[in-house]
Structure 1
């Protein structure tokens, strides 16, 4: 059981390691800059208030003068929500379409394995970077705050990572759906990134407007790093919505893959 998952996870191990180290070091860099910003004496609250609502909504630019608000805006909202989400959609986009394109999928399906099981096991292998980064990167973040003599709630830090998992699963599922719909891996990968980015923008530009309800279509509506780190507010219902959406998209991909003419 789960032979495909183990094999695919091993294939992703090197990339996951590189990504983990890279984001961990970037987090340390971001944290290392904070003391100089804090000591600058700039009235960040007034500056943030002058920014467009769409910008503040996109990057959670609130309480920028605190380590929690700074991390939420400079690291989590930009790197974790946007870039990591794009990465997962991109990676998932090549999962099926890439194997179809290079003929590898025919070899896999020649073995005694059903299409449904193959798709689910490939999806499970995509959890590798999500799990590893959410276990390791918090250590970099918390260690960095100690080095600059700042305090950060461990519970809030763990919550911001735990609640990111359903969000990242949705991004992964979006990429997987496109991977079974599109004939080429590069198209599915670019399509996955475009879809996640457009949904991110949709939530941002509709915030505090008459069209705010449209932002409910975006997964970012249900995962707010600023609320978690600055306000210690955990949107459990939002996490449930994201988890259900991820499973529903996986089910859609599975249905399409079972009926696809390969």
Structure 2
């Protein structure tokens, strides 16, 4: 069982380690910068001069604390935007890449169902998801300790735990694009651009009369600033993201089962 998930998961190990190493270096850079930046500038006063939409989009709150600084510089940008787009882009190649390269016919000639192939390929994205969310909080905790600051370990663990449903729904967006489009490059552009577009909708409409449109965006349900700065753990939002993932998986499965593979 799960032979496809293990096979494709092993192929993602090197990429997951490289991505995690990159985020570890980013963490070290931000934490190293914090003492000099926070002492030389009144970051909270500076934040108040910025447009409300910008503050809302990137969680610019309490920048004078290590929690607020990391929430804005690392998590609101690195996790919500970069990792979200990355997982949407990566998942968009799960099916479309094999179809594009003419390998899917051979794969489906095996005694396996289409649903199994689809779901086990999707399961392979758990490798980078788990690796980056296990290693990064350890690096953050050690780096913060290294500059004689402190951060709530419970909030730090929760900001990563609650990012899992968010990144899963990003990958599910990519999977849907992957079964709809036969060319991997098209599927990846649509998935990455679409997910970024959803982020923009939430950012641009925040605090306006059409703020309800932001409910379509996964970023509405994952707020790292609220977790790290205010210790607000939004389990209801995580539930919405998990439900969205299941809906997208079901839609992808239904479309994939009915689709002719050229």
TM-score range, shorter chain: over 0.9
Contact 1:97 1:179 in 2 (8 A): yes
Match of 1:160 in 2: 159
Aligned to 2:129: 130
| CA apart distance, 1:245 | 0.2
The residue correspondences of 1:26-105 to structure 2 (distance < 5 A) are 26-40=26-40, 42-105=41-104
* TM-superposition CA deviations, 1:55-98 (whole Å, max 9, x none): 11111000001000000000001011100011100000111011
Number of equivalences: 261
> CA contact under 8 A between 1:156 and 1:229: conserved in structure 2?
yes
Equivalence map 1:185-200=2 (5 Å): 185-200=184-199
CA distance in 2, matches of 1:9, 1:218: 28
The alignment's TM-score, normalised by the length of structure 2, stands at 0.98
1:70 partner SS: helix
Deviation, 1:45, is 1.8
Which string of whole-angstrom CA distances, capped at 9 and with x for unpartnered residues, describes residues 91-117 of structure 1?
001110111010111111111110001
- Identify the residue that residue 253 of structure 2 maps to in structure 1: 254
Aligned-partner Cα distance in 2 for 1:46–1:29: 23
SS at match of 2:94: helix
2:125 matches 1:109: no
Q: Deviations over 1:183-229 (max 9, x none)?
A: 20001111111011001110001010000000000000000000000
Q: Which runs of 5+ in 2 are unaligned?
A: none
Task: Within 5 Å, give how 1:179-218 maps onto structure 2.
Answer: 179-218=178-217
| 1:5-40 Cα deviation digits (max 9, x unpaired) | 000001111101101111111111111100101211
**Which runs of 4 or more aligned residues in structure 1 lie more than 2 Å from their structure 2 counterparts after TM superposition?**
none
CA-atom RMSD in angstroms: 0.7
* SS at structure 2 position matched to 1:95: coil
Aligned to 2:149: 150
Q: Distance in 1 between matches of 2:47 and 2:126?
A: 36
Cα distance in structure 2, aligned partners of 1:101 and 1:182: 9
